[in-house]
Structure 1
Amino acid sequence: MEPPKPSLRLLRQLSDRHVLGVLFEEPELTRAQIATRAGLSKPTVGESVRRLTEAGVVRDTGDRTGGRGRAGTILALTPDLGVALAVGIAPDGVLAEVVDVHGRVVSRATEGLALPTTPDRLEALLPAVVARAAAGAAGAVRVAVVSAADPVDRATGALVHLPDAPFLVGELSPVALLAPLVDGEVVVDNDVNWAARAELAATHDPGSGADEAADGVAYLYLDRGLGCAVVADGVVLRGVGGLAGEVAHVVTTGPDGRASAFIEVFAALGLREPGSTAVDTAAVLRLLELAAAPGGDPGAERAVDALVVAVCGVLAALVAFTDPAAVVLGGAWGSDPTFLARVGQRFGRMPRHVPLRPPAVLEQPSLAGARQEALRRLRERVVTGSAAG
């Protein structure tokens, strides 16, 4: 029995999706150029452009190509398709970026924070920063994607306070705060989860035969805060409540050789910021520098060795329970080459180990992941809106 043939409506929708995909990447093209890039015939593109124009998604710019041969009409997306927001709520402040359908950051606003902060402070700050960013862009905000340096309740998108969390003391609902500013959905997830998504997007190579997204990867983030994201079958595992990857209280080996919660290792080594449970990143980096200097520093060596042992204990737990193809060590001191090499040496001698590597995305990886998702959702809204029209 022959498989059913796709309907004419489905074929038209697929053609429209291909045409829009090309115009998302290149803002102004002729019909002939779209046909070449989309791999469609010129008549098919012509019909698709007609439908998309009637739907108010594509427009004739009024410009024509010059040079030899027949002049072509320059086509572009209409300017009122809206924008997306990528928002980062981090220990150092709130950052909001406005992204258009072409992936360009058209506006940005930021405001600093001091640790620890409170829900009252963020309830006033978050909408204000987002409103400033949105005011600098043309078009309605269709979707907002938020990256938060705190656990995120999977069902509600609210930030959840856990014991020893160094950032937000209390709970906060970004969805409720931003809903009045967005005419679509507000999506919230933990910052390390977004960083892992950005990492997979940056390293995915369809022709390589190896795909960490499919095989599984653990992203261990070591900075002022401690976090982990586990990806299996291309999906970030969030857990029933969204708390998967919260490694601060994973039991590992402490500086005295006894079992200790991971977060307590830093207290025992005097590596917390004053008045906070946040890791003193600058102090850790100084220790690494002293330990790597010619002749070394015995005290620094001992402290770094203790950190290496503690991190390897966490890695052993990750590998035992998630069986990843690789582990990415991110964060300001987690990705430090000296530290990564020391961890790799010790971890490689353990009964179960996997390759370790530094992250490919170093510049604001969590915001990069949120930005990618905001753009994807904005474009999908344009595509589905044109089909409905």
Structure 2
Amino acid sequence: MDSAKPSLDLVRSLTDQHVLHALMQHRRLTRAELATMIGISKPTAGESVRRLTERGLVTDTGERTPGGRGKGRVGFYYALAPTVGAALAVTIAPAGVVAECVNIYGEPGVRVTRQIDRPALPARVSAALEDAVAEVRETAGQDFRVAVVGAADPVDRATGRLVQLPDAPFLVGSLDPVAVLAPYVDGPVVVDNDVNWAALAERDGAGAQVLRDFAYMYLGEGLGCAIVNDGEVRRGHTGLAGEVAHLLTLGPGGRAVRFIELFGKLGLRRNGSTAIDVDRLLASPAATHEVLATAVGGVVAAVIALADPQAVLVGGPWGPAVVDNMRAATANMPRHVPIRAAEVTGEPVLAGVRAEALSRLRAEVTADG
């Protein structure tokens, strides 16, 4: 019985995908360079370039290799067409909305920010989001094929809506980023919690084989935790896994207290809000930091018991400041897990969002091939 052979259409499709991937990595290549890089014949490479050019995915750059007078034939350089589109990367946080255009090579382009007044009511946040995205699209002159959003609030994994939980420090009400962005994006709009994106940026920075099972504690105006298992974020049934703000932990005098309520007892909340006053916290005395570290240590103990991470990473504006105290507070725990400051400190949420936006954009373009 003859073994099954791939159809000619399948072979052509795979070849076209390889050509697209090569151009994503190297920007411009001749047909001869594509043939060598992919391991196909020059005529096969030429046919693939022709097909992709006809589909509007590849274009002749107009650049030529030196040729003639013993230097061989002139080579034509090809690149991805500008019309393959771009991705939209967005973060929604107390500091404001950031919207950024990401091209097929992973380079951030036009970036627009909008401040958000407090209290952060859904109508205000929605208006700031739409205004920022509209300006990015107009300035960049690009169509967005996909959008990825990181939001400083719990996210319903089924709908992408932001969910307000009790004592939420940021958004007052619910918001639907998918609906807001749909008129500006041709394809899917993906929304997830900001701490999850920061954790994925940390994973990618360390290498997926190095950091596969860990917890990422975010300590800022709000409190959050991402659980990464086997290299993937675990979001739970509704997407609310890692919402640690209401865990019971140790407060002043050894009394039980909900984690989020501790900051009210210590006088570390912003006026008229449940948001943590980061500046006041960082300027507080060492004794206060010890109380905070003990409370965070109680939360870490619960996370370790349930998630069994290889490490606990601590990020956010004030997280690294209490890492040493956290280690001391958890030194006598039955199970020892390393605790260290997160390494990705330059806009970690946007780094994670941008990487996912690029991955999805490339998948969309490759599928067209």
Alignment TM class, shorter chain as reference: over 0.9
How big is the alpha-carbon RMSD for the aligned residues of Structure 1 and Structure 2?
1.9
Aligned to 2:348: 365
User: 2:122·2:175 contact (CA, 8 Å) conserved in 1?
Assistant: yes
d(CA) in 2 for partners of 1:2, 1:91:
63
Pairs aligned (count): 366
| Cα gap change, 1:35 to 1:354, in 2 (>3 Å) | farther
Q: 1:60 is matched by which residue type in structure 2?
A: D
d(CA) in 2 for partners of 1:197, 1:145:
13
Aligned to 1:319: 304
Aligned to 2:217, which of 204, 216, 220? 220
Aligned to 1:352: 335
The alpha-carbon deviation at position 274 of structure 1 amounts to 1.6
Residue 270 (1) aligns with residue 267 (2): yes
The alpha-carbon deviation at position 355 of structure 1 amounts to 1.6
The alpha-carbon deviation at position 193 of structure 1 amounts to 0.8
Aligned to 1:79, which of 79, 82, 86? 82
Q: What whole-Å deviation, never above 9, does each CA across 1:88-120 have from its counterpart, x for those lacking one? A: 100011110011111122211111113331012
Matches within 5 A, 1:168-183: 168-183=171-186
d(CA) in 2 for partners of 1:24, 1:384:
14
d(CA) in 2 for partners of 1:196, 1:166:
21
d(CA) in 1 for partners of 2:318, 2:267:
16
Aligned to 1:211: 210
Matches within 5 A, 1:274-285: 274-285=271-282
User: 2:56·2:83 contact (CA, 8 Å) conserved in 1?
Assistant: no
- Partner of 1:354, secondary structure, is coil
The alpha-carbon deviation at position 184 of structure 1 amounts to 1.2
- Partner of 1:167, secondary structure, is coil
- Partner of 1:162, secondary structure, is coil
User: 2:146·2:360 contact (CA, 8 Å) conserved in 1?
Assistant: yes
Aligned to 2:235: 238
- Partner of 1:136, secondary structure, is helix
Q: 1:318 is matched by which residue type in structure 2?
A: V
Unaligned runs of 5+ in 1: 288-299
Residue 106 (1) aligns with residue 132 (2): no
Aligned to 1:65: 65
Unaligned runs of 5+ in 2: none
Residue 162 (1) aligns with residue 161 (2): no
d(CA) in 2 for partners of 1:325, 1:256:
31
Moved more, 305-314 or 66-75: 66-75
User: 2:116·2:128 contact (CA, 8 Å) conserved in 1?
Assistant: no
TM-score of the two chains, using structure 1 as the length reference: 0.89
TM-score of the two chains, using structure 2 as the length reference: 0.94
d(CA) in 2 for partners of 1:2, 1:143:
43
- Partner of 2:146, secondary structure, is strand
Matches within 5 A, 1:1-389: 4-66=4-66, 68-204=71-207, 210-213=209-212, 216-287=213-284, 300-336=285-321, 339-386=322-369
Q: What whole-Å deviation, never above 9, does each CA across 1:109-161 have from its counterpart, x for those lacking one? A: 11111333101211222111110111111331111111110001111111110
Q: What whole-Å deviation, never above 9, does each CA across 1:326-346 have from its counterpart, x for those lacking one? A: 11101111123xx21221233
d(CA) in 2 for partners of 1:9, 1:234:
34
Q: 1:61 is matched by which residue type in structure 2?
A: T
| Cα gap change, 1:48 to 1:344, in 2 (>3 Å) | farther
d(CA) in 1 for partners of 2:367, 2:27:
19
d(CA) in 2 for partners of 1:351, 1:2:
61
User: 2:152·2:193 contact (CA, 8 Å) conserved in 1?
Assistant: yes
